[in-house]
A and B are shown apart, each in its own frame.
Chain A
Amino acid sequence: MQVGIGIKYCGGCNPHIDRAKLALEIEKLLPPEYSLTTDRSSNPWDIGIMVCGCLTACADKPEIRNLARKWIIVAGNSVDLGNIPEEKMADVIVKKIFARKE
């Protein structure tokens, strides 16, 4: 069965990380049955990744939180409030996806 992981970007006015590259890297690391989607018609997503370019995480609002049951929040060089180097972020996020699917 295909597993859709929702992805919600901030607006990207001052990104400290390459948000599009991060999404591509996550997609590459995920098994084929997983896919990233921005399509909101199948709301709420099981898991959503909020990809914000800086620590402000301006997309993190209640109405956005309603889009998914569980969230992984990327804000600049952090994942769920823990500092992670950009090159390791995709790996950390994929592990979190698997952990939350269990």
Chain B
Amino acid sequence: MALKTAEQYEESLRKMKFKVYLMGELVKNPVDNPIIRPSMNSVKMTYALAQDPQHEDLMTAKSHLTGEKINRFCHLHQSTEDLVKKVKMQRLLGQKTASCFQRCVGMDAINAVDSVTFEMDKKLGTKYHERFIKFLKMMQEQDLTVDGAMTDPKGDRALSPSKQADPDLYTHVVEKRKDGIIVRGAKAHQTGAINSHWILVMPTVAMSKEDADYALSFVAPADAEGISYIYGRQSCDTRKLEGGEIDVGNRQFGGHEALMVFDNLFVPWENVLMCGEYEFSGALVERFAGYHRQSYGGCKVGVGDVLIGAAALAADYNGASKASHIKDKLIEMMHLNETLYSCGIACSAEGHKTASGNYLIDLLLANVCKQNVTRLPYEIARLAEDIAGGLMVTMASEKDLRHPEIGKVVEKYFKGIASVPTENRCRVLRLVENITLGTAAVGYRTESMHGAGSPQAQRIMISRQGNLEHKKKLAKEIAGIKD
């Protein structure tokens, strides 16, 4: 079975034994928990669209290992066309869910780990790539969702991993046994962790020799003994407990992040992909971050498409759609959104082959892409709020709208143009609210800022990759400067 159906995916999650805490309580059934379920629906969509002839061209790929049709999220990019299709797939999923659909981290992790383990084995004679390929085959055959886990809590940012007051602030090996290793520490901001079958852990920064115990990569079942999760809160999350469908803004879909804790987790050697090879940790971080910075040129654009559509509908329902400044603001939103998309496509089209055979994006352009993502969605959100009007945050609740007495008042005074029911206006304004400052703002705003690395991380990479000396040489030639 190389492709799971959406239903099979949901059933597979039900069989898992996650240890998840949410608001101080252990969650017995994460799949049906009203706070968590919308995020599961977003991942489920990655399975549903792969079965749909109208979307399979983007959602599926041919495995280079088996020749089987597989979900693109389990694929190693074999060409620049694959890299481009990845971005288009992400835009599509952003459009269909208006949320973070979470599965990209695993795809980006396998593509980074593939080339780095290959290069590590070649230089050091280790066997990591062989182990990784064995895992990848299983991932493809079972159509698994894998959480790529990179970000450590990091404690005091001025100190290296081994100098922290608490050694667990970076994930590390505490014991090496004959049959495997014992791991302690945590991974923060883990997108989609509770909707994943496996985790692929990677080091969080470039390491030096003294941090060798922290240069660690491995795979493990997401519900393995020794792994627990503390679910992250989101703005307006308890609206999901109210039972309505308007005030949540996006009733069906969402995203999630969690703190993943390793409490003496045992990892057998066959699942270890880096253990002490500190000189390769930087390359792994750089490549994973590069792929993930490319990702944002697709997924955020798809969510942006929905937000632009919602803002345009809000203008229609307000009777303001013909005002020139509204038209101009919508044009600006589209311009900004397509600018992000252009960066995603550009870094993909300019990708190149690695020694292992898979394709890596152009790292400079991927970092430029993500740097723009740290800014432009904020402006798109600002314009959406401008167009929507203040009612998106002052509007009465769904319960008031449905109330036998005051419902008529809400209906009367929240009406826009006569031909559109008040309820439709409420729905679209709540959607704008959801994306700009509700649960989905986690993905559309702050994740755009800090996900795949905060803005300064991209500036460092742009500085390294920007080829400044070549630019100076060009200027000297034109200016007639002879040194």
Contacts and interface: CB of A to CB of B under 8 A. Distances in A.
Interface in A14-34: 14, 19-20
Interface string A1-16: 0000001111111100
A66 interface: no
A83 interface: no
A43 interface: no
B57 A11 contact: yes
B467 interface: no
B366 to A, nearest CB: 19
Residue of A7, A8, A9, A38 ringed by the most chain B CB atoms within 10 A: A9
A75 interface: no
Nearest to A56: B88
Interface string A53-86: 0000011010000000000000000000000000
Contacts of A10: 57-58
B59 interface: yes
A1 B92 CA distance: 38
B55 interface: yes
A37 B88 CA distance: 25
A8 B56 CA distance: 10
A97 B419 CA distance: 42
A20 B52 CA distance: 11
A57 B282 CA distance: 39
A38 B55 contact: no
Given A13-B89, A13-B91, A59 B54 contact: no
A12 B53 contact: no
A58 B88 contact: yes
A20 B123 CA distance: 52
Contact of B91 (A8, A14, A38): A14
A94 B31 CA distance: 46
B66 to A, nearest CB: 17
A11 B53 contact: no
**B interface majority secondary structure:** helix
Contacts of B59: 11
Contacts of A58: 57, 84-85, 88
Contact of B53 (A7, A13, A14, A61): A7
Interface in B42-84: 53-59, 81, 84
Which of A8, A10, A12 lies at the interface centre, i.e. has the most chain B CB atoms within 10 A of its CB?
A12
A20 B54 contact: yes
Interface residues of A, number: 14
A19 B92 CA distance: 14
B86 to A, nearest CB: 11
A61 B88 CA distance: 16
A62 B58 CA distance: 16
Nearest to A20: B54
Given A13-B88, A13-B91, A59 B53 contact: no
Contact of B55 (A7, A8, A11, A61): A11
A58 B348 CA distance: 14
A13 B54 contact: no
Contacts of B85: 11, 58
Contact of B89 (A11, A38, A61): A11
Contacts of A19: 54
A38 B57 CA distance: 12
Nearest to A61: B81
Given A12-B92, A13-B88, A38 B58 contact: no
Contacts of A9: 53-57
B388 to A, nearest CB: 24
Interface string A37-51: 010000000000000
Nearest to A51: B54
Nearest to B91: A13
A56 to B, nearest CB: 9
Nearest to A10: B57
A100 B59 CA distance: 31
5 contacts: A14-B91, A19-B54, A38-B53, A58-B88, A59-B57
Interface of A: 7-14, 19-20, 38, 58-59, 61
The 7 nearest A-B residue pairs measured at CB? A11-B58, A13-B88, A38-B53, A11-B57, A13-B92, A9-B54, A13-B91
Interface of B: 53-59, 81, 84-85, 88-89, 91-92, 95, 302
Given A11-B88, A14-B88, 12 more contacts: A7-B53, A8-B57, A9-B57, A10-B57, A10-B58, A11-B56, A11-B85, A13-B89, A13-B92, A13-B302, A19-B54, A59-B57
